[in-house]
Amino acid sequence: MRLLDETIQRIERLDEGMMGKARERVDSLIKPPNSLGRLEEIAIQLAGITRELYPAIDQKAIITMAADHGVYEEGISGNPQAITLAQTLLFEKGYPGVCAISRVSGAKVLAVDIGVKGEIPDDAGVIKRKIKNGTDNMAKGPAMTREEAVQSIEVGIEMVNQEAKKGINLLGTGEMGIGNTTPSTAILSVLGNCDPLEITGRGAGVGEGGIEHKAAVIRKAIALNKPNPTDGIDVLAKIGGLEIGGMAGVMLGAAANRIPVVVDGYISTVAALIAASIEPKAKAYFIASHASLEPGARLANELLGIEPMLNMDMCLGEGSGAALAFPILDAAVSMMTHMATFAEVGMEI
């Protein structure tokens, strides 16, 4: 808990003075006012985060947290749970979708075992930070203890602190875990005060009982554990996932280190809600990448108050949407760096 508390204390508001300078430059560039839309907003946000008018975001990384879920035994997924382990082992080979997309922007992908059921070999190229072999079954009791929930957040913070020392200046969040739309939807149901059936989707493949059964399991878990919607750590502990906590930690760590963090899709956005509930100032450092196809994604983004940049009908996860959005941030910085102002070209307006 000490690391989490210290991290929260380090999170500051964005640099309003630098954002003002960025706005002045954006408004004076050789273009009609606001004609580059969201690109202008991103450039200004990046200036406020980094305290630099021309920020460097050339050292990129996606941190993908991998974990399993005890609620899998309730039949909420049609996929074998062993896929989590098998897929995590493929990251070093660069086979998953996030790895392929990350090649476009030169981002490295770091796979972290924070709670995979089963053992990861030492030579697998996976960062081993396992807290336990998956969460407990939230339909029978809390998914984890409060201490384990805090530990999962602190793993994410530690990852960012390590990468910051290596010069990483742009981060993205990702996850890997069969069944993880179930705890994500449970969290969203509590924070959004809605019935699970309204926001429950198929995920990577729903079990034989269908969406109705999946929603019923979520409803049962919430009724049993009674998570406190005003305490993000309590919600995470009772009905969440280790990788969700890990991603929340990445976001808090990024904010503490003044590093912009691109949020992937549905599950990452739910993690962002947990992070923002722990420290609201952190939200200013988040950039939403894409609108996931999962039914709860719209509500999650509305609660977070951040509009995604892309609508690509994606729902893969892994950090794939964040990786796809990285070049847009590069374009925003290039606009600020290379586009001239009217004064610089001797034009009067």
Does position 215 have pLDDT exceeding 80, yes or no? yes
Q: pLDDT band at 210, cuts 50/70/90? A: confident
pLDDT band for position 211 (cuts 50, 70, 90): confident
pLDDT at 204: 67
pTM equals 0.96
User: pLDDT tier at 196 (50, 70, 90 boundaries)?
Assistant: very high
**pLDDT value of residue 276:** 98
318 catalytically annotated: yes
pLDDT band at 238 (very low <50, low <70, confident <90, very high): very high
Question: In the structure encoding, which two tokens stand for residue 312, read together?
Answer: 């690509």
Amino acid occupying residue 219: R
Q: Is the pLDDT of residue 145 over 90?
A: yes
Query: For the segment 292-324, what is each residue's pLDDT rounded down to a tens digit?
Result: 999 999 999 999 999 999 999 998 999 999 999
What is the predicted pLDDT for the residue at 209?
A: 72
Could you give the 3-state DSSP secondary structure of residue 117? Answer: coil
pLDDT of residue 205: 67
What digits encode the pLDDT tens for the residues 97-136?
999 999 999 999 999 999 999 999 999 999 999 999 999 9
Cα 337 to Cα 143: distance, rounded to the nearest angstrom: 48
Residue 206 predicted with pLDDT over 90: no
The per-residue pLDDT for 78 is 83
- Looking at residue 251, its pLDDT comes to 98
pLDDT in tens, 49-81: 999 999 999 999 999 999 999 999 999 998 999
Contacts of 65 (CB under 8 A, 6+ apart): 112, 114, 155, 156, 173, 174, 175, 176, 242, 243, 244, 246, 247, 250
Would the pLDDT of 349 be above 70? no
**Catalytic one among 148, 318, 344, 348?**
318
Q: For 156-162, what is the mean pLDDT?
A: 98
Element containing residue 111 per DSSP (H, E): strand 108-115
CATH of domain 60-329: 3.40.50.10210
Rounded CA separation 177/156 (Å): 16
Query: How large is the average pLDDT for residues 205-211?
Result: 73
DSSP string, 204-235: T-B-TTHHHHHHHHHHHHHHHH---TT-HHHH
Between these two residues, 208 and 106, which has the higher pLDDT value? 106
CA–CA separation, 73 vs 62, rounded Å?
30
pLDDT digits (tens, 9 = 90+) for 4-57: 999 999 999 999 999 999 999 999 999 999 999 999 999 999 999 999 999 999
Average pLDDT on 207-234 reads 93
Per-residue pLDDT, 192: 96
pLDDT exceeds 90 at position 277: yes
Average pLDDT, the chain: 96
